[in-house]
Structure 1
Amino acid sequence: MKPMLLVAACALVDVDGRVLICQRPQGKQLAGLWEFPGGKLEPGETPEECLIRELDEELGIKVTEACLAPFVFASHGYDSFHLLMPLYLCRRWDGFVTAREHEALAWVRPDQLSDYPMPPADLPLVAYLRDFL
């Protein structure tokens, strides 16, 4: 049986309806692929607490729990683990989005997200975003 990995992700949506995606840095697993910001939950952490921490660490922005709306989730089996990833929507944050841990950032219209290569777990989320936004 594969271990379960719980990761929280966030679709930041700007005033123009574009979604932020981040390019995984060289040297990391799935390097070069585009993903939604977020990360692994630490022991005892809720998905919302994880996103508040990760968005500050990765992008330098402050988000409150009230601004994180649960949206959909991904469930994907990789070779060595199973990933469960809730995706939240966020339209309000404080600060300016800055690439602190990623190779690059891109604000992308929902109907153009499929133009960017993404990890297998992120791909099904694109259709939901495109239909909803």
Structure 2
Amino acid sequence: MENRIVVGAALIHRGRVLAARRKAPSEVAGFWEFPGGKTEPGETEEQALERELQEELGVRARALRPLPGRWPVRPGLELRIWAAELVSGEPEPLQDHSELRWLGPDELDAVDWLAHDREALPHVAELLRAP
């Protein structure tokens, strides 16, 4: 059986990336992540990312490209982080998050990331430093 993909968004806007603080479930509550969620059957990773950001944050975003790496979340579930750009709207923590923060390239260590999201930080820092 193939792994189901969870997509996370390194959502970039004005040289900063959005970090979202989980409020549930209890084992991840208080940790920070790149917002996103599971792909649905028949959905591309890009479609899932754009849908999840609309549902979770109330924004329109465009998926740009996957960052290097894939991380097991739990058996049968694998995380891919995508670079994405904000198209319209102001992100709000509507569902799974208690707080949002925009972080610049030198602020990425300012929050306590979930382990697999932390592994993507070098790639995110590169994105933020790109001209």
Q: Give TM class, smaller chain.
A: 0.7 to 0.9
Q: Distance in 2 between matches of 1:79 and 1:100?
A: 25
Q: Distance in 1 between matches of 2:46 and 2:28?
A: 24
- Correspondence 1:51-70 to 2 at 5 A: 51-63=49-61, 67-70=62-65
Structure 1 residue runs without a partner (length 5+): none
Partner of 1:117: 112
- Kept after mapping to 1: 8 A contact 2:17/2:103: yes
Query: Size of the alignment, in residue pairs?
Result: 127
Q: Distance in 1 between matches of 2:2 and 2:114?
A: 19
Q: Distance in 1 between matches of 2:119 and 2:13?
A: 21
Q: CA deviation at 1:10?
A: 1.2
- Kept after mapping to 2: 8 A contact 1:60/1:100: yes
Instruction: Find the residue that maps to 1:121 and give its secondary structure.
Output: helix
Partner of 2:91: 97
- Root mean square deviation of aligned Cα: 2.1
Partner of 2:5: 6
Q: CA deviation at 1:98?
A: 1.1
Instruction: Find the residue that maps to 1:127 and give its secondary structure.
Output: helix
Q: Distance in 2 between matches of 1:31 and 1:106?
A: 16
Bigger proportion of residues as strand: 2
- Correspondence 1:23-102 to 2 at 5 A: 23-63=21-61, 67-78=62-73, 80-81=75-76, 83-90=78-85, 92-101=86-95, 102=97
Q: CA deviation at 1:113?
A: 1.2
Q: Distance in 2 between matches of 1:24 and 1:69?
A: 24
Answer with 42-51 or 76-85: which moved more.
76-85
Q: 1:106 aligns with which of 96, 101, 110?
A: 101
Q: List per-residue Cα deviations over 1:65-123 (Å, max 9, x = no partner).
A: xx321041432245645523142231x31112111011110011122112211111111
